[in-house]
Structure 1
């Protein structure tokens, strides 16, 4: 590496500069205060854990996303967290171990081996909330509501809520006679909504009626009409209807979109899956779902539902705003001046001392002494 490229960072790894860092921190505080107002308790999870626990229960995708290293103390393999949800599940099941409902939230950076999208970050700042110990649909509705409140708090404007249910797909694949490789091929084709590929991989399926229903899943997305004439998974469809009614009542300005072939997180989700979208951005800005019994690998199988978002991705969608203005103060030992500086800072103002006599460019006001009284004046 030459001296000309020592400043380069790996692809997908970026620093957050002052103007953006201030906005990230402001939004982080607002969101954690929001979750606190709903009764969610903050957790701070470790950056690294043994992979035995870090990669348990949430599917194979997490394994490929996780950087691994050898612990020089124990000789065991550790992973740098690529997702915080499994850590929270472990804490609920083992470290807390409390009965009844647990409401937990978090905010922290994760490191992933590859970005979630072409221009995405491998170092997102994840913020989210998880609810354990309640299997009712009311718990899912609470989490979906918090996800929508999160997007609203970020000021992203009109939101579309995407709803799906993995139970619909599972009901069609149950007892189908397809082996695991064939089921994986069906899954991949359905996720791409590729009808030619789907027809090809479903050819071994002897049940022509079921084959047609699986093919139709690729086009089962849109408004409420997609829930009509679904002759299977009645319980899952009923849950989608109930969630739609509750969210429409609470958030009448939110558009609701159904996708019965949505299989995001299929490896570990057990029921409803949901995501929030905003106009002009093709990726979900927040997503989540139900993932019951993940804590079983930690000794306690618990109902679970939750969501998360990436703070940096949220702010990338917002217009840049200027840094907060500041007040310039002279360097000196005047007691009255320092008392006034303390008062201003205590009131939330930024006061910057002019160490060399030069005024910081962020300052639009100055502290001056008029007849023994320190006053703030426009520069």
Structure 2
């Protein structure tokens, strides 16, 4: 490759320039402060780990394993993984590094890396922010997580027009168990649900026990009341199915009370990563956004790989995605050169007020700072900031 082309970046990787970075960093700080006020303690996790540690989640979630970069450690010769999600790392901290009794709340913000982008316009190096709650298996914990997630989005400026999709993997799993399906049949059904392939679903479920219920689960996924009416009495009387259904209905009612401006939808066959999710799942969408702004769910037992299985629920989002439409120029004030006390006091005052101020050096003129938006000038009324 010619040396003139070595500045090019890989697909899905981009620099973050000042007009972008200031907005992203402000949101990161505000979001972490919001989480800290709710008792979520900040943790930093390493960018690389032995692959066995990261596999606590990827063993259950094949998709995560596919997006994880693997490299050889030049010191130990062992296989390392570059973090593609921070959840396995926080699970390791909760289970082994900081095994406190009772409920533990953690939050994090850092870059992760994917072998392939997880969407048409997604970055391969998202800035992931998230929160996780360990040690409580109640619906209250799930509702706290949804409330916290929506609160973070409100901090980011998303307060109107949001759509929250809710699902519960227990509905599908309990029906699979009730019908006595094999693992291959379960995977085939999951694939049909994900592709929304209703004609194929109808043909495939015709040969299954409780086939009509499986078909209705896919056909009426977004209409919970119609789905309940269409399902067989035996399915509705199943204890596991009933528990999942009650949890979903209660969650809908509670969210609509707390967040009346958020539209709540149902997708009971949204089975993304259902191999490790164990209960309620949720994702938030906004107008003109094809991918969710934030998503999460319950994943009990994730710490078992580290010797301490605990109930857990959490959510995550990509800060780059949240601020995609909020970039703006940096407001930059240029002050003249000089060490006069009055001038230095004025510069210090402006900086204390949160303004960005550059003082010219030596014989430099205003043109030496092409990104300047304002200048500090001395007038008859004293020092004044004027727009350029």
Alpha-carbon shift at residue 375 of structure 1 (Å): 1.7
Q: Does 1:310 align with 2:318?
A: yes
- Contact 2:68-2:84 within 8 A present in 1 as well: yes
- Equivalent position of 1:285 in the other structure: 293
2: CA distance, partners of 1:136 / 1:331: 62
Q: TM-score, normalised by structure 2?
A: 0.91
Cα distance between partner residues in 2 of 1:378 and 1:171: 67
CA distance in 1, matches of 2:127, 2:226: 35
Q: Specify the SS of the correspondent of 2:137.
A: coil
Match of 2:102 in 1: 100
Which residue does the alignment assign to 2:275? 267
Q: 249-258 or 49-58: which moved more?
A: 49-58
Partners of 1:289 and 1:305 within 8 A in 2: yes
The structure richer in helix per residue is: 2
In the alignment, which of 183, 186, 192 is matched to residue 183 of structure 1?
186
The separation in 2 between residues aligned to 1:219 and 1:104, in whole angstroms, is: 38
Match of residue 342 from structure 1: 348
Residue 212 of structure 1 aligns with which residue?
A: 212
1:1-379 to structure 2, matched below 5 A, reads 1-57=1-57, 58-156=60-158, 157-174=160-177, 176-202=179-205, 205=208, 207=209, 210-226=210-226, 228-229=228-229, 230=231, 231-232=235-236, 233-316=241-324, 318-323=325-330, 325-355=331-361, 356-359=364-367, 360-369=369-378, 375-379=383-387
Residue-by-residue CA offset, 1:348-371 (whole Å, 9 max, x unaligned): 111112232125344444334468
Is the deviation greater in 276-285 or in 56-65?
56-65
**Unmatched segments (≥5 aa) in structure 2:** none
- Deviation per CA, 1:91-118: give whole Å up to 9, x if none: 1111110001111000011000111112
Task: Tell whether the 8 Å contact from 2:92 to 2:303 is kept in structure 1 after alignment.
Answer: yes
Q: Would the aligned equivalents of 2:334 and 2:366 in 1 still touch at CA under 8 Å?
A: no
In 2, Cα distance between the equivalents of 1:367 and 1:277?
44
Q: What TM-score comes out, normalization by structure 1 length?
A: 0.93
2:332–2:373 CA contact under 8 A, matched in 1: yes
Equivalent residue of 1:49, what SS?
A: strand
